Amino acid sequence: MTTNKYDSIYQELAKKIDQGIVKAEDILPSENELSLQYETSRETVRKALNLLAQNGYIQKIRGKGSVVLNVEKMRFPVSGLVSFKELSKTLGRRTCTKVHEFGLIHPDPYLCKQLKAEPDDEIWRIIRSREINGEHVILDKDYIYRKCVPMLTQEICENSIYEYIEDELGMKIGFAQKEFVVEACTDEDEKYLDRNGFDHIVVVRNFVFLEDATLFQYTESRHRLDKFRFVDFARRGR
């Protein structure tokens, strides 16, 4: 699959846990045993196990072993860098994306600050609403550096921008910083969303960086109160 030995071990074990071949409370084979099974060194096995631990699959307990966690909910893939398309797959609901505005702009002062951009930079601006079970409950406002993504079409935006960037352009997302707050609804929310009487909205501000640490996108994702849910898995000192 992948070219990494530790990553393929991780994938394989994760799959076994996902499929219930190994169950919660079970104890994985010891690191020594696994290094024999996979014909690799113990350190390589440990990298795979650490990945499993970081992703909430197991808890390593000294002197005992690696316990599989009972995690139907635990590994809800909403945390971290998940795109709407991946998300809707997990939700398994009828979802649909509508592109309302699409084009190139020069950033206003607010956007200059958010994107650390210059006033004459070219920025893609995309306004989309997300429909879940027939209701428009999420408004996404995306701003992307043109110097990072030279071309973009309305069709790509209707599908998945991330898929295009990662699969087509071969760029790699490095990390992201999200901020969650609740704010009063704006006229824009009013215009594009089914407000359903709510006068506040959950705002997720997302700064996305590439592997070489350049900021390439700022997104404001506005969720209707009753449709917002976020799950986070955290380890001490991660």
Positions touching its own copies (CB under 8 A) are 51, 54-56, 59, 61, 64, 67, 69, 73-74, 79-81, 172-182, 198, 200, 202, 209, 211-213, 225-226, 228-238
| Binding partner selected for residue 161 from DNA, its own copies, none, CB under the kind-specific 5 to 8 Å limit | none
CB-based contacts of 69-72 (< 8 A; 24+ apart in sequence): 69/24, 70/24, 70/25, 71/17, 71/24
| Binding partner selected for residue 6 from its own copies, DNA, none, CB under the kind-specific 5 to 8 Å limit | DNA
Cβ neighbours, 10 Å, residue 226 = 11
Q: Say whether residue 51 binds DNA (CB under 7 A).
A: no
**Nearest CB to DNA, comparing residues 63 and 92:** 63
Placement of tokens 């590439």 in the chain: 210
**How far apart are CB 207 and its own copies at their closest, in Å?**
9
| Binding partner selected for residue 113 from its own copies, DNA, none, CB under the kind-specific 5 to 8 Å limit | none
Q: In whole angstroms, give the CA distance from residue 139 to residue 223.
A: 7
Q: Say whether residue 97 binds DNA (CB under 7 A).
A: no
Q: In whole angstroms, give the CA distance from residue 210 to residue 174.
A: 5
> Is 216:175 a contact under the CB 8 Å cutoff?
no
**How far apart are CB 41 and DNA at their closest, in Å?**
4
| Binding partner selected for residue 176 from its own copies, DNA, none, CB under the kind-specific 5 to 8 Å limit | its own copies
By CB under 7 A, the count of residues binding DNA is: 25
45 phi, psi to nearest 5 deg: -60, -40
